[in-house]
Amino acid sequence: MSVRHVEEAALDWVSAHRDGFVLGEDALAADGQVNRTWKPLGELAQVCASVSACTVPSDPVHARVSELLEFAWQQTRRGELFPLMQSLEPFATYPLEVYAAFASAGHRHAGYEASAAVVARTRGWRLTEQYPTRRLGVVEAERRSGIRPHGPVPQALSRTWLGGLPEPWTFERAAGYALTHVVFHLTEWGRTPQAMPPDLADYLLHWLPPWLDTCLEARMWDLSCELLAVAASLPQPPGAAVLEDAWQRLAAAQHASGALPEEGVMQDAAADGPAAGQDPYAFTDCYHSTLMAAFAAALTTARLRDVDHAGQGVPG
């Protein structure tokens, strides 16, 4: 099964389940669950913006993700909800992080950017306590939104797990997700592989293969997809055998509907009852990993198209 097939199947599922990304009435509620409202929508926007940027306009995938991105933008009332969110939670960073995904694709709201820039100049904003990787993400969200970053990238990077070049045996789930997002922030979600600092690129080239193998062996499909996206975001991707094996294992875990579970054994549709082509997973159990499968596959196919991989053997 090709990488392209994984991408197309994943996008089939996302398109068929886009109602799961709709913002409900609780999106602005004081007790609303951000992880069930804004987080999925922001992730949809980021993946679609990234896939759109790395596919040529004539590619049918480009039209599909552009349509999904427009759908996501409409959910924000074309940006009008962002000022409302800021008025409710002035020092919450997630509205800007979600907005930055849209801004990177050209969807802008001048009023929100102006008010966010004012808040970003306050001591309260600069001193918000966050995990180091999140801090780096906020700095990058500011830059992508046309706001002066409140701190330098090297300083933020130095405090992250990956930025410290830790002992490779300290890798575990939390560290894995942290390092993938550091790479995404540094490379503009895979758009600029050459922006990776050489020491980090060399470190990842050496240690990413065994970490990826460990995650695949543990059936951690979501993190495996993120690591494959990292592989496609490096100046020099890992070797042919590593990527070929990883994509084969990932494709085998993908359901006929295109859905990919976050982790665990793939459900057998024939055994469990649903008709072939229908996924047996709850939306929250597979939407992120399915988006990441599309994202990683799109970056990989873009590298195949744009870079001469003779001798590197990135799978097609």
The crossing angle, in degrees rounded to 10, of helices 173-186 and 221-233 is 30
User: What's the one-letter identity of residue 308?
Assistant: D
The mean per-residue pLDDT over the stretch 100-117 comes to 97
Return the number of other C-beta atoms located less than 10 Å from residue 70's C-beta.
14
User: Which pLDDT score is estimated for 297?
Assistant: 98
Write the DSSP symbol of residue 314.
Answer: -
The H-or-E segment that residue 9 falls in is: helix 3-16
The mean per-residue pLDDT over the stretch 8-27 comes to 95
**Measuring CA to CA, how many Å separate 108 from each of 78, 105, 304?**
8, 9, 31
pLDDT tens-digit series, residues 191-222: 999 999 999 999 999 999 999 999 999 999 99
C-alpha span between 108 and 103 (Å, rounded): 5
Instruction: Flag whether pLDDT at 122 surpasses 50.
Output: yes
Return the number of other C-beta atoms located less than 10 Å from residue 286's C-beta.
27
Return the number of other C-beta atoms located less than 10 Å from residue 155's C-beta.
13
Degrees (nearest 5) of the Cα angle 153, 186, 214?
125
Q: Pick the range with the lowest mean pLDDT from 23-32, 124-133, 195-204, 270-279.
A: 270-279
Instruction: Flag whether pLDDT at 275 surpasses 80.
Output: no
Cβ(302)–Cβ(232) below 8 Å:
yes
User: Which pLDDT score is estimated for 94?
Assistant: 95
The mean per-residue pLDDT over the stretch 285-305 comes to 94
Q: Where does the pLDDT of residue 272 fall: very low under 50, low under 70, confident under 90, or very high at 90 and above?
A: very low
Instruction: Flag whether pLDDT at 315 surpasses 60.
Output: no
C-alpha span between 57 and 110 (Å, rounded): 27
User: What's the one-letter identity of residue 37?
Assistant: T
Tokens of 239: 């070797």
In 3D space, the residue among 179, 185, 184 whose CA is nearest the CA of residue 204 turns out to be 179
The model's pTM: 0.93
Q: Is 129 exposed, middle or buried (0-12, 13-18, 19+ CB in 10 A)?
A: exposed
- Concatenate the DSSP letters of all residues of 43-74 into one string: HHHHHHHHHHHTS-TTSHHHHHHHHHHHHHHH
Cβ(307)–Cβ(20) below 8 Å:
no
User: Which pLDDT score is estimated for 1?
Assistant: 57
Buried b (16+ CB within 10 A) or exposed e, 233-242: bbbebbeeeb
Cβ(210)–Cβ(169) below 8 Å:
no
The mean per-residue pLDDT over the stretch 45-61 comes to 96
Phi then psi for residue 152, to 5 deg, are -75, 145
Rounded mean pLDDT of the chain?
Answer: 92
C-alpha span between 103 and 72 (Å, rounded): 12
User: Which pLDDT score is estimated for 32?
Assistant: 79
Write the DSSP symbol of residue 25.
Answer: G
Cβ(207)–Cβ(282) below 8 Å:
no
Cβ(225)–Cβ(289) below 8 Å:
yes
The mean per-residue pLDDT over the stretch 167-195 comes to 97
